[in-house]
């Protein structure tokens, strides 16, 4: 199952400015300092907590309970000033450039901004307010200008280049060489080689994009907040008790005690479309969700998309690239747009062929029930559930009764213990500050030695001001180059909270998402790298580790111990598990096609000259050229495709989920066919050693070969999705 993720900040500058991503990587780890900077000393006097070093146990933790939004602007300005002073210290060093006085010095920089951006990420994603959005709008171009000052600092780049081309470089260890290479490429690919007018224009484009990306995201959030469908009891036809209870809870939290709320998020929309017998209401919920950012009002994103694409295209042309996708993929596993498109197009025909079969099965049931109409997009989930029940006697709501959020969390901890030797222990309430009462915190230790590894924060529930979707992030990453720092990792979801005193029940897809995002957290917690700049990742690879973890949801150990009925406590029956496994590839046409359509259109956007771009028309024409089934839409229509338009983390890179899933399917077969199955001790040790702990300190292709002993190919993916595998003999 493809799980979306959303990048919040897109430019990583070797530890000087940490990017907070839905995937969960930060380039700069916050280090403890023996002597606070002048700015940190000032913060102690003026009370600006955002500038202060983190204090308390666990090497210090974010002061979520003390920070004030009004301090954000002055903190950012002070943090940028401090970082530029650190750069000046590096460039003014009279000694010849070497690894220690240039690359390592850069890795030590940006501590204050690192901390500030942890708070920025929370205000942006978890507890957004109109007041924050105004500050974000004002500060985004200033931050872009700051980034350009660093990226286009000729003296700094010359020192980096000198290290990159030095004899010293050849004698460095492999991880240090990779750090130098990543630093050099990061600058070279972001305008450091430019001069004169092109250099100025490059900086101006970045500044404008910094304004447009959050504007796009905030428009989507506005539509999610502004559109809520309130239902009466008479309009609840077909909805299972768990969905009715969740809708009642959502309405109550909005002051509508006697009504039921369907919010404009996927976690609310999808189950409603699956069960509601009210076709007109299904259509209304579907249209509201898929028209986010496309309503012709002040929050419409079409013009913003066109401007973003034009600016990106112009910017990469300054660097000598034909199109944005060429630039984006040059340092990724795919290497170029052609390779990415070839992979997607190798899967696309099987996906849309399966959709045709799925629609035929649904249409037969709809005809028998007297629909007198063709299956429409708002009917797909509804009749798919009927087909699932007919073909496999599998009722998704029956499965849901065994999927309690708290028990699934315990299952994830169990898997982490078996594979990673991690133990999760809840911290004493109040001992670690949190930004919302829903957030809980666990200490992570080594099961054998008791060594402290880090903290894990969990923010599981949907609420106003929180962006939709599910994501992982890290407030602090593991490093050892200046003393060992522990990890502060976080998972964030949008599950609809159960009624007071009742457990939160989630769907099977949501349970997979839960495991998926926890995989990102484990990736962060497993890190053994020395330098902050090696804690990042290659975008079309970093989803692999998290996708892989989804496979443990269906292991016997999890099934028998954690999938228990929320009322009786009885384990999920074997016959129900057999039905789940038998139906594991059911609806794979829908899930693959809605994802691939988004990934293909993303690549088409970024390989096309955007002159005279009309996003609505481009989307329609692109899908028509792909023979997109009319019963399905893109998983993320252009106007709310935050992965590619609210930042640049996934732009021309949404294909990466599929690229990573090729590795996922191959690795899953490796476990499944081993003597110990998914808990095979030897393979688990190789998994942690070669794929999790190394982060970005080694080329991903080399890392996978070290784990698997061979490269992966697409056949395992096709088998996993139940598609025919081409006979190559």
Annotated catalytic residues are: 517
With the C-alpha atoms ordered 675, 586, 224, 293, is the resulting torsion angle positive or negative? positive
Q: What are phi and psi of 7, to 5 degrees?
A: -85, 130
By DSSP bridging, strand 452-461 and strand 487-495 are parallel
Copy the structure tokens of residue 189: 């690919």
CA dist 605 and 307 (Å) reads: 12
What distance in Å separates the CA atoms of residue 328 and residue 145, rounded to the nearest whole number? 21
Neighbours of 66 (CB within 10 A): 13
Q: β-pairing, 452-461 with 440-446?
A: antiparallel
- How many other C-beta atoms lie within 10 A of the C-beta of residue 116? 24
Pairwise CA distance, residues 263 & 271, whole Å: 11
What does the alpha-carbon distance between residue 184 and residue 192 come to, in Å, rounded to a whole number? 9
User: What are the angstrom distances between the C-alpha of 252 and each of 248, 308, 631?
Assistant: 6, 39, 34
The number of angstroms, rounded, from the C-alpha of 116 to the middle of its chain's C-alpha atoms is 20
- Rounded Cα gap, residues 313 and 324, in angstroms: 6
Q: How far apart are CA 253 and CA 126, in angstroms?
A: 17
For tokens 């992030």, what's the residue? 473
58, 432 in Cβ contact below 8 A?
yes
How far is C-alpha 430 from the chain's CA centre?
28
DSSP 8-state code for residue 723: P
**For residues 348 and 235, what is the distance between their CA atoms, to the nearest angstrom?**
38
- The DSSP H or E segment spanning 290 is helix 279-290
**Nearest to residue 115, comparing CAs of 31, 171, 43, 197?**
31
Of 218, 55, 80, 213, the C-alpha closest to 150 is 80
Q: Which two tokens stand for residue 677?
A: 């199955």
Distance CA 504, CA 649 (A): 32
**Cβ neighbours for 92, distance < 8 A, ≥ 6 positions apart:** none
The 8-class DSSP code of residue 260 comes to E
User: DSSP 3-state assignment of 360?
Assistant: helix
How many residues are present in the chain?
729
Strand ranges (E), 447-599: 452-461, 471-476, 487-495
Query: How far is residue 687's CA from residue 704's CA, in Å, rounded to a whole number?
Result: 9
């Amino acid at each position: 199952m493809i799980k979306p993720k959303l990048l919040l900040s897109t430019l990583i500058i070797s530890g000087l400015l940490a990017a907070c991503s839905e995937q969960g990587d930060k380039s700069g780890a916050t280090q403890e300092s023996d002597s606070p900077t002048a700015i940190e000393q000032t913060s102690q006097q003026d009370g600006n907590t955002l500038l202060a070093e983190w204090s308390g146990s666990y090497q210090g933790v974010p002061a979520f309970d003390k920070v004030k939004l009004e301090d954000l602007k002055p903190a950012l300005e002070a943090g940028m000033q401090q970082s530029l002073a650190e750069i000046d210290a590096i460039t003014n060093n009279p000694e010849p450039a070497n690894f220690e006085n240039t690359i390592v010095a850069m890795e030590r920089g940006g501590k204050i901004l690192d901390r500030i951006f942890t708070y920025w990420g929370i205000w942006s994603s978890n507890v957004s307010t109109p007041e924050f959005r105004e500050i974000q709008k004002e500060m985004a171009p200033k931050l872009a200008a700051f980034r350009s000052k660093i990226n286009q600092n000729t003296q700094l780049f010359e020192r980096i280049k000198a290290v990159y081309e030095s004899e010293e470089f050849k004698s460095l260890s492999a991880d240090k060489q990779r750090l130098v290479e990543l630093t050099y490429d990061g600058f070279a690919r972001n305008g450091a080689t430019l001069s004169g007018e092109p250099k100025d224009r490059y900086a101006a484009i970045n500044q404008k994009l910094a304004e447009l990306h959050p504007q796009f995201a905030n428009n989507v959030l506005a539509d999610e907040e502004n559109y809520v469908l309130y239902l009466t009891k008479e309009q609840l036809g077909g909805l299972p008790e768990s969905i009715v209870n969740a809708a009642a809870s959502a309405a109550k939290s909005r002051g509508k005690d006697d009504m039921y709320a369907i919010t404009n998020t996927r976690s609310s929309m999808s189950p409603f479309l699956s069960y509601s017998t009210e076709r007109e209401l299904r259509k209304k919920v579907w249209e509201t969700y898929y028209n986010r950012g496309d309503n012709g009002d002040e929050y419409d994103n079409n013009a913003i998309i066109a401007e973003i694409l034009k600016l990106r295209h112009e910017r990469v042309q300054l660097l000598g690239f034909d199109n944005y996708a060429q630039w984006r993929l040059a340092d990724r596993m795919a290497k170029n747009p052609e390779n990415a498109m070839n992979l997607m197009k190798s899967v696309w025909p099987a996906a849309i062929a399966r959709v045709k079969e799925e629609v035929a099965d649904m249409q037969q049931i709809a005809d028998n029930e007297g629909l007198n109409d063709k299956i429409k997009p708002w009917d797909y989930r509804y009749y798919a559930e009927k087909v699932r029940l007919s073909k496999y006697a599998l009722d998704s709501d029956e499965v849901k009764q065994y999927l309690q959020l708290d028990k699934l969390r315990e299952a994830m901890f169990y898997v982490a213990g078996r594979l990673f030797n991690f133990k999760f222990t809840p911290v004493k309430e109040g001992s670690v500050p949190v930004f919302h009462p829903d957030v809980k915190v666990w200490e992570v230790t080594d099961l054998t030695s008791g060594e402290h590894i880090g903290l894990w924060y969990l923010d599981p529930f949907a609420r106003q001001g929180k962006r939709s979707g599910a994501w992982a992030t890290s407030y602090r990453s593991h490093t050892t180059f200046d003393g060992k720092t522990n990890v502060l990792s976080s998972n964030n979801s949008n599950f609809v909270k159960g009624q007071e005193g009742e457990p939160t029940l989630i769907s099977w897809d949501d349970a997979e998402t839960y495991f998926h995002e926890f995989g990102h957290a484990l990736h962060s917690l497993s890190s053994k790298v020395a330098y902050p700049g090696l804690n990042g990742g290659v975008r079309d690879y970093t989803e692999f580790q998290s996708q892989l973890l989804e496979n443990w949801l269906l292991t016997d150990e999890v099934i028998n111990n954690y999938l228990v009925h929320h009322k009786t406590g009885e384990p999920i029956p074997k016959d129900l598990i057999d039905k789940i496994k038998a139906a594991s590839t059911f609806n794979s046409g829908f899930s693959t096609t809605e994802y691939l359509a988004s990934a293909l259109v993303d690549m088409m956007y970024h390989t096309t000259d955007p002159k005279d771009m009309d996003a609505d028309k481009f989307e329609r024409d692109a899908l028509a050229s792909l023979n997109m089934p009319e019963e399905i839409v893109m998983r993320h229509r252009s106007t709310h495709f935050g992965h590619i338009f609210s930042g640049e983390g996934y732009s021309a890179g949404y294909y990466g989920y599929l690229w990573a899933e090729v590795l996922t399917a191959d690795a899953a077969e490796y476990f499944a066919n081993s003597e110990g199955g998914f808990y095979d001790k030897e393979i688990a040790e190789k998994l942690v050693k070669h794929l999790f702990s190394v982060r970005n300190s080694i080329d991903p292709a080399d890392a996978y070969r070290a784990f698997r002993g061979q490269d992966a190919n697409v056949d395992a993916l096709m088998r996993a999705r139940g598609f025919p595998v081409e006979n190559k003999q």
